Structure 1
Amino acid sequence: MIKVVITGSNGLLGQSLLNLLSQEKERYQVFGFSRGENRSGRNDFNYISIDITDEQKLKKVLLEIQPDFIVNTAAMTQVDDCETHKVECDILNVEVVRWLSEVSGEVNAHVIHLSTDFIFDGKKGYYKETDNPNPLSYYGLSKLKSEEVLINSNINYTILRTILVYGKVYDMSRNNIVLWVKSMLENEKEITIVDDQFRMPTYVEDLALACKISMDKEAKGIYHISSNKLLSVFEIAQQIADVFGLDKSLIKPISTSTLNQKAPRPAKTGFDLSKTNEELNFYPKSFKEDLQRFKETLN
């Protein structure tokens, strides 16, 4: 049996990965770490209610489990909150990764860690894994520091960078762009969306699959995971309206400068996926195709 620990197992990616690994129960023994109650709607894995920012507790539990893989999906991802709560951001996004890597060194575990397009400054778009990071926000900086912890360690690691993750799971504590746009338009509410930021959104089912492929192949290094075509956030909202048959005229374009956000956002990110295609044999589709798949799961 392959022992897998998933931190943040109550989150969108955490629950999606639980659902995926549960299809091979004879192969994987799964441990989910999250705060509070198990919110996944599943009871066919080992749920451990834990505050992973408690270093001693985290290390003790991991040493008892002796995992083969640790998939770290837990993070502080609200970009403006990270700007105002830097200490909390550093603990969850950087120190926890350091502790996971220290334990992994002792038990010979492989860490699969999630990172972000926000480590880039957004000046060019279609970033390769080897492009130089230059984060604009504290969130981006914290995720870059977390990558450096793993790169400078002696353990086996996979870093999966991703963009604007969306989807739906059993119990959602947070919204995402697709569900928010869909809900607003269904309620016939006008929304304003930036037309000068460009992204390649990621369907959570694809991201969960990329985590599993990384385990199965014992892939090492950094990989980019997203849909395959760069769109403005305004175009993203319009495609959501198209796929769900909603009124596009309710979506109004605005520029980023009118938003007064605490943390600056990169203008144009998006990934070059050729390394992911070649080494993981994984070929993400367009946002519109992924949305169709997502729509079918909702019906």
Structure 2
Amino acid sequence: MRILLTGSNGLLGQKLVALLRNQPDVTLIATSRGPNKLANIYPDLYFVPLDVTDRAQVQRVIAAERPTHLLHTAAMTNVDECELNQEQCWQQNVTAIEHLVEACTEHQVHLIHVSTDFIFSGEEGPLTEEAEPGPVNFYGKSKLAAEHVVQASLGAWAILRTVLVYGTAHDYGRTNIVLWVRDSLRAGKAISVVDDQLRTPTLAEDLAQGCWLAARRNATGIYHISGNELFTPYQMALQVADYFQLDKSLITKVDASSFSQPAKRPLRTGFIIEKAQRDLGFQPHSFVQGIALLQQQNAAE
């Protein structure tokens, strides 16, 4: 297998590099728009610069590298930034996939596209793959439009939707709920955490494993890839406090309406992952196991 990975500098991209570079019979082509952030960690990593919004560049790289599979993880995922910069969001999340679908169809590349629970309205959950989409923000609209582009492809494709991905990565500016809660409580800082949103949080390593399972099995169709436990962010914060034996009284539960954010969030999502478990053999970590892994990785740095 020759696997071309977009977004190799991102959280999921870095986890996929770590996973795939050691797989026998896999040749990995890592790509990203910026310089390779992993050059010092994996000096032997084969890296090709690629801006997926540039049609000519997409055509050139896929024609030259001839992958059998393409894992598309590159995206604009900051929900509020997408709301405020809609043209840029559309370029990165929709125009890019149009270019990739065109090139993958021409060169018979199996495309695996990562999507999100934010394509749903938040009126109910957890959700199966058959649930009716209804995004409430521009990020969700862009990701749903991208799904429609993939589904119209004449080539082989799979869409892997996920929920609230958390993890640690090298030279990665964004934090995650586990380390944010831990570091805030260690510093004696009071925090407010929403208790009216429901999610099935996903460890980044688990999502990477789901992508690899889909590629290895040449899976087609839509799969929900997430954790298997439904929590509010407030409940997650309490678990983090318990794990690190920190003061839970510093955590105040609030409604999402108490935060002023440009983009509306769906209230209730979360996924039913039985299809991925059955068809792909996907088995996620529990949230407590995910906390333990992040602590282990953080201690090793």
- State, as a whole percentage, how many aligned pairs show the same letter: 42
Contact 1:200 / 1:287 at 8 angstroms: preserved in 2?
no
- CA offsets 1:229-267 (integer angstroms, 9 cap, x no match): 111110011111222232222111111111121111111
Aligned equivalents of 1:213 and 1:120: distance in 2?
Answer: 25
Q: Which moved more, 1:287-296 or 1:121-130?
A: 287-296
Aligned to 1:12: 11
Contact 1:229 / 1:287 at 8 angstroms: preserved in 2?
yes
Aligned equivalents of 2:33 and 2:245: distance in 1?
Answer: 37
Please state whether the residue corresponding to 2:28 is helix, strand or coil: strand
Paired residue for 1:27, among 21, 25, 28?
Answer: 25
The aligned runs of 1:123-272 (5 Å cut-off) are 123-272=123-272
TM score, norm. by length of structure 2: 0.95
Which amino acid letter does the alignment assign opposite residue 248 of structure 2? K
Aligned equivalents of 2:58 and 2:180: distance in 1?
Answer: 34
Contact 2:114 / 2:159 at 8 angstroms: preserved in 1?
yes
Aligned equivalents of 1:51 and 1:215: distance in 2?
Answer: 22
- Report the alpha carbon displacement of residue 57 of structure 1 after superposing the two structures with TM: 1.4
Please state whether the residue corresponding to 1:215 is helix, strand or coil: helix
Q: Which moved more, 1:130-139 or 1:233-242?
A: 233-242
Aligned equivalents of 1:164 and 1:131: distance in 2?
Answer: 18
Which amino acid letter does the alignment assign opposite residue 30 of structure 1? L
- Report the alpha carbon displacement of residue 58 of structure 1 after superposing the two structures with TM: 1.9
Please state whether the residue corresponding to 1:23 is helix, strand or coil: coil
Q: Are 1:76 and 2:76 counterparts?
A: yes
Aligned to 1:38: 36
Aligned to 1:49: 49
- Report the alpha carbon displacement of residue 278 of structure 1 after superposing the two structures with TM: 1.0
Contact 2:201 / 2:226 at 8 angstroms: preserved in 1?
yes
Aligned equivalents of 1:263 and 1:206: distance in 2?
Answer: 27
The aligned runs of 1:89-104 (5 Å cut-off) are 89-104=89-104
Aligned to 1:295: 295
Please state whether the residue corresponding to 1:252 is helix, strand or coil: strand
> What are the ranges of 5 or more consecutive residues in structure 1 without an aligned counterpart?
none
Aligned equivalents of 2:186 and 2:21: distance in 1?
Answer: 33
Which amino acid letter does the alignment assign opposite residue 112 of structure 1? I
Aligned equivalents of 1:173 and 1:5: distance in 2?
Answer: 24
Contact 1:22 / 1:44 at 8 angstroms: preserved in 2?
no
Which amino acid letter does the alignment assign opposite residue 150 of structure 2? L
Q: Which moved more, 1:214-223 or 1:165-174?
A: 165-174
Which amino acid letter does the alignment assign opposite residue 175 of structure 2? N
Aligned equivalents of 1:259 and 1:207: distance in 2?
Answer: 29
Please state whether the residue corresponding to 2:270 is helix, strand or coil: coil
- CA offsets 1:267-298 (integer angstroms, 9 cap, x no match): 11011111111111212243223323333333
Aligned equivalents of 1:46 and 1:215: distance in 2?
Answer: 19
- Report the alpha carbon displacement of residue 187 of structure 1 after superposing the two structures with TM: 2.0
Aligned equivalents of 1:244 and 1:153: distance in 2?
Answer: 47
- Report the alpha carbon displacement of residue 130 of structure 1 after superposing the two structures with TM: 0.6
Aligned equivalents of 1:235 and 1:100: distance in 2?
Answer: 39
Aligned equivalents of 1:166 and 1:16: distance in 2?
Answer: 11
Aligned equivalents of 1:53 and 1:183: distance in 2?
Answer: 37
Aligned to 2:86: 86
Contact 2:52 / 2:100 at 8 angstroms: preserved in 1?
no
Please state whether the residue corresponding to 1:284 is helix, strand or coil: coil
Which amino acid letter does the alignment assign opposite residue 124 of structure 2? K
Aligned equivalents of 2:241 and 2:44: distance in 1?
Answer: 36
Please state whether the residue corresponding to 2:22 is helix, strand or coil: helix
